[in-house]
Amino acid sequence: MSARQTLLAAATASILALAMAPASAQSLRYANQGDLKSLDPYTLNETTTHAHLGHVYEGLIARDKDLKIVPALAESWETPEPTRWRFHLRKGVKFQNGDPFTADDVVFSAERVRKKGSNLQTRIPADAKVVKVDDYTVDFILTSPNPILNSQWDTWYIMDKKWAEANNAVEPTPAAATAPSFASLNANGTGPFTVESHQPGVKTVYKANPNWWRKPEHNLKEIVFTPIGSDATRVAALLSGEVDVVEPVPIQDITRVDSSPSAQVLKGPEIRTIFLGMDQVRDELLYSNVKGKNPFKDVKVREAFFKAIDVELIKTRVMRGLSTPSALMIAPQLFKLSGDFTRPKFDPDGAKKLLTEAGYPDGFEVTMDCPNDRYVNDAAICQAVVGMLARIGVKVTLLAQPKAQYFAKVLKPGGYQTSFYLLGWTPGTLDSHNVLFDIMGCRDDPKSARGEANLGGYCNKKLDELTDKVLQESDTTKRDLLIKQAFEIAAKDFAYIPLHQQALAWGVSKKVKLSQRADNQVLLYWATKQD
C-alpha cells in the first residue's frame, strides 16, 4: 500500500505545495454547494462544471451577461446556406501552454466532443461534417438545417489538439472512467485563468492568465474554490468573511446576509422552471388507490390539480417572494411571446367541482415523488402542494428523497416509476424546442429520444408535428408563432402544472462586485475585489 501511496502523494505534492501559498488582497475565495468533479470539459454536462471550466476554457462563442450570444474564439460566423455554417476564428490566441489556437484545434474538439464517453455529444449533430477551410476558417456542414446549432457552444470548450495528443488525452474522459485521465486532472485552455491546483472535494486554485487575449474585467490574482455542501456552514463562512462569494444562499438566510455589514445577496430570476407532472400513460397508476383506471388520463382531474394549487402562496410563504409564478414550461426570458399566456386562477372550489364531475367526489389517494436536495426548497414546495391537494380531498403521500434515489426511480432507466412528481428543467439550448421535444414529446417511439424527460408520458401528436416544424423553421417570427401554438395545446391539455421559476441567490462580500447570469453560472472573470 505505502509504495502506491507514496508515488501518488509525490505526484500531487508539488501541485499542493503551491496551493498553500499565502493569500493576497486580490485573491477571491469562492464556495459552492457542489464540487468540481472533473477538469475534462467533455465529461459532465452540468451547470456548475461548465461554469468552473469556463474560467479556463473558451468556446467559439460565448454568452454575455444577458445570455446573448457573442463572439469568443470565433470572431464572426455566417450561414451561406441553411446547412452550412462558417466560422472565422480569432487570430493570435494562445493556449495557456503557449500553443497557438488554430482551425485544427476546432476540428479536433468537434471530433472529441462527439466521441464515445463524452457527455456533450449532442453539442454537434453526429452526422455534421467539420471542415478546415484554412488555419482560421472552419465550416460545419449539416444534413438538415438547424437554426440553433451554436446555441450551446458557449460550453463546448475548445481544447488544444497538440496538448491532447502529447498527453494521451485524445479520447474524452467518460463519466464512468475507471482510471483518472490526464485531461481530468489537468487543464489547458485559452481562458482568463489557469488551474494552479485541483484537489477534488477539497480545494481548487485558479490563477489569472497573464497572456489572455482579452483585456480582463476582473482584478484578481487568483480564485480559491472550496466546495461547502452544508447550507448553514456556507452562510456562516460568508458572514464571518472566510469566503467572498457563495452559491447558493438558502432563501431563508437572505435577509440575514443582507442585514450583515459585510455581505449581500445578489438576486435574480433563474431560467429553470419548476413544475409538477402526472402519469398520463399507464392504464392504472402505480401508486394510487384508484384501481382499473388512471384518473390523470382525465383532463378534468389534471385541471382540478392545477387549480387547487396556489402558486402565489407558495411564492410568499415557501419561496419568501423569490420566485416567479409561471404560466409556461419555459422561462419568460427564453420565449418572446410568454406574455400572451396567463396562468388559470387558483380556484379550490372549482377544482373540487371538477373532481366531482370526473367521478371523484371524495378525491383519491396518490403518491408524489419529490427530490429534497435538488431545487430551491423542493421538499417544502411538495409539502405545501400536499396540503393544498388535501383541501380538495386528494390524499397525497409524499415520498421526498435525495436526488440520487429520486432520479433513479422516476427517470427512464428506472422505468418512469412515478404517478405524480416535481421536477425542474432548464432547456440546455436556452430554446423552447428543447422543452417541446424532451418534456412534452410523445414517448411512444422507443427508438427516438423524443420525450425522454417526459416522465408522465403526456402525448399529443399535433404538438409533436409543431415541434418538428419548429426545428426546421429559421424565420424567428414564424418560429415563435409555431412555438406559441404548441404551448397552447399543452396548456389546454393541462399537460403539466408549471409552478415557477426559482430565484438565483448568490452571497457576495461587499468588497466584491460581480455580474449575475440567469443560467446560474458563477463567472468570476467579471468580478472585481477591493482591498
Which residues, numbered 161-190, are part of the site for another protein (CB under 8 A)? Answer: 173-181, 184-185
Nearer to another protein, 167 or 515 (CB): 167
Q: Which of residues 290-329 bind another protein (CB under 8 A)?
A: 310, 313-314, 317-318
Nearer to another protein, 45 or 528 (CB): 45
User: What are the CA-CA distances from residue 78 to residues 71, 73, 106, 192, 289 (Å)?
Assistant: 12, 15, 16, 27, 58
**CB 438 within 8 Å of CB 451:** yes
Pattern 479-518, binding to another protein, x per CB under 8 A?
----------------------------------------
Question: Does residue 400 bind another protein (CB under 8 A)?
Answer: yes
Instruction: By CB under 8 A, name the one of 143, 211, 233, 477 that touches another protein.
Output: 233
Q: Which of residues 266-295 bind another protein (CB under 8 A)?
A: 286-287
Q: Kindly report the backbone phi and psi dihedral angles of residue 29, in degrees, each rounded to the nearest multiple of 5, phi listed first.
A: -105, 125
> C-alpha grid cell for residue 409?
426511480
261 preceded by cis ω (within 30°)? no
Q: What angle do CA 324, 270, 411 make, to 5 degrees?
A: 100
Q: Which of the ranges 103-111, 125-133, 293-301, 380-388 carries the binding residues for another protein, by CB under 8 A?
A: 380-388
Distance CA 60, CA 205 (A): 25
Q: Which of residues 413-442 bind another protein (CB under 8 A)?
A: 413-414, 417, 425, 428, 438
Q: Which of the ranges 73-81, 214-222, 265-273, 367-375 carries the binding residues for another protein, by CB under 8 A?
A: 367-375
Nearer to another protein, 242 or 357 (CB): 242
Nearer to another protein, 359 or 415 (CB): 415
Q: Is 17 helix (H, G, I), strand (E, B) or coil?
A: helix
Q: Which of the ranges 211-219, 249-257, 275-283, 352-360 carries the binding residues for another protein, by CB under 8 A?
A: 249-257
Reference 346, options 310, 314, 300, 316; nearest CA is 310
> C-alpha grid cell for residue 278?
402526472
Nearer to another protein, 268 or 428 (CB): 428
Question: Does residue 5 bind another protein (CB under 8 A)?
Answer: yes
Please report, for the chain, how many H helices and E strands are present, in that order: 15, 19
Instruction: By CB under 8 A, name the one of 67, 358, 379, 481 that touches another protein.
Output: 379
**CB 48 within 8 Å of CB 228:** no
Nearer to another protein, 300 or 374 (CB): 374
Instruction: By CB under 8 A, name the one of 98, 359, 361, 387 that touches another protein.
Output: 387
Nearest approach in angstroms of CB 531 to another protein is 20
Distance CA 216, CA 207 (A): 13
Nearest approach in angstroms of CB 135 to another protein is 34
Nearer to another protein, 171 or 242 (CB): 242
Instruction: By CB under 8 A, name the one of 409, 479, 517, 529 that touches another protein.
Output: 409
Nearer to another protein, 269 or 424 (CB): 424
Instruction: By CB under 8 A, name the one of 24, 202, 462, 492 that touches another protein.
Output: 202
498 preceded by cis ω (within 30°)? no
Give, rounded to a whole angstrom, the gap between the first and last alpha carbons of the chain.
Answer: 46
Question: Does residue 199 bind another protein (CB under 8 A)?
Answer: yes
Question: Does residue 338 bind another protein (CB under 8 A)?
Answer: no
Distance CA 393, CA 401 (A): 24
Distance CA 320, CA 251 (A): 7
DSSP-H helix ranges across 95-239:
103-113, 161-166, 182-185, 231-239
> C-alpha grid cell for residue 267?
438576486
**CB 366 within 8 Å of CB 397:** yes
Instruction: By CB under 8 A, name the one of 93, 380, 486, 524 that touches another protein.
Output: 380
Nearest approach in angstroms of CB 95 to another protein is 23
Using the CB atoms, write b or e for 352-366: b if 16+ within 10 Å: bbbbbebebeebbeb
Nearer to another protein, 97 or 230 (CB): 230
Nearer to another protein, 333 or 367 (CB): 367
Question: Does residue 148 bind another protein (CB under 8 A)?
Answer: no
Q: Which of residues 339-358 bind another protein (CB under 8 A)?
A: none
Strands 528-529, 512-513: parallel, antiparallel or unpaired by DSSP?
Answer: antiparallel
Question: Does residue 16 bind another protein (CB under 8 A)?
Answer: yes
Distance CA 245, CA 249 (A): 10
Instruction: By CB under 8 A, name the one of 230, 472, 476, 477 that touches another protein.
Output: 230
Nearer to another protein, 398 or 489 (CB): 398
Q: Which of residues 100-139 bind another protein (CB under 8 A)?
A: 116, 119, 121
Half-sphere exposure of 512 (CA within 13 A, CB side): 32
Distance CA 216, CA 75 (A): 18
